[in-house]
Amino acid sequence: MKEEKTELYVNEEYVVSSPGESQSILQARFQELGYLFFKKTISDQKCSAMLQDFMTVLAPHITYDETAKAPAYSGTPFSETDPIWDEVYPKMQSLESFHRFFHEEDVLDLMRTVSGTEVFVYPIKMARISTPGKLGYETPPHQDAYSHHAGPTMAGIWVALHDVDQQMGRVKVLPGSHKKGVRKVFEAEGVGGVQCEIFSEETTWHVSDYERGDVLIFHSCCIHKAEPNTGSELARISVDTRFCDYGAPVFSTNLEPHHGWRIEGLGWDSIYQDWRSTDLQHYWRDYPKLF
């Protein structure tokens, strides 16, 4: 185990896992590293369909570049909470396909593999947009245990909807950081407005280029951050949510739409207005551990 730990921490690229590995191996690796990285585990078709749905509501600010096979922005750069973001984000949140994305068996199976039991998918679903021209506004290092008021069985699941290279701004994690608990936070520029404490010996981050359908699952205390988008035209769009062992406590802020607290009119009634199905509407009302 000592050799494996040394190898896992020296490499600065993600340690790649496979859904075909035994659950015990995957869970041990998750407890050691604080994350699991799966290559091309969500189908191209599903990711492309989700990205196309987003394109229908992001135009004219972001359109799909057929040559680059990635989203491209035009006009004014923007980041989370900017006026353009506040304009388009309720439209993204209202897409039934966006919320259903995380409740289908391909994603649920990955969650169950990590947890070893049935899971509860948080109602809060997040879509991320990173355009060039917003250096300094990327998400700083943080822990979800703090921002989501979450216990040790909560984890995040992040999915790349298209290929993402360093220039477009990747998500990176600090392996093993979950073992030292929830940390102090400080005010910081960027999404969320806070950064957690990082110890002097924690210098090796794990990150890799992403392909469409890659999945990153990370522990609630695993420190992670976003790289800046340093390109000139291409934007990064990804989706993520949180989940926990079924029956674990879930704090009330996770039951609301992402940024529903600050964008006027963004609530479940407006989100559900044009949905064709009702099975996922308010699905958490009977959950036993809400606080």
Domain membership of residue 94 (yes or no) is yes
Instruction: Compute the mean pLDDT over every residue in the chain, rounded to the nearest whole number.
Output: 95
Which domain range does residue 101 map to?
2-255+268-272
Please indicate, yes or no, if residue 277 is contained in any of the structural domains.
no
Instruction: Tell me the C-alpha distance between 15 and 68, whole Å.
Output: 27
**pLDDT tens across 165-203, in order?**
999 999 999 999 999 999 999 998 888 888 999 999 999
Q: What domain count does the chain have?
A: 1
- Within 13 A of 89's CA, how many CA atoms are on the CB side? 26
- How does residue 1 score in pLDDT terms, banded at 50, 70 and 90? very low
Domain of 20, CATH number, reads 2.60.120.620
Query: Do strands 16-17 and 35-38 pair parallel, antiparallel, or not at all (unpaired)?
Result: parallel
The answer as to whether 68 is a domain residue is: yes
Using DSSP, state whether 239 is helix, strand or coil: strand
Asked whether residue 289 is domain-assigned, the answer is: no
**Beta strands 215-219 and 62-65: pairing type?**
unpaired
Residue 11 confidence (pLDDT) above 90: no
196 falls within a domain:
yes
pLDDT at 119 exceeding the cut of 60: yes
- Determine, yes or no, domain membership for 240: yes
285 occurs within a structural domain = no
Other Cβ atoms less than 10 A from the Cβ of 232: the count is: 10
207-250 residue pLDDT tens = 999 999 999 999 999 999 999 999 999 999 999 999 999 999 99
- Residue 155 in any domain: the answer is yes
pLDDT tens digits, one per residue of 44-55: 999 999 999 999
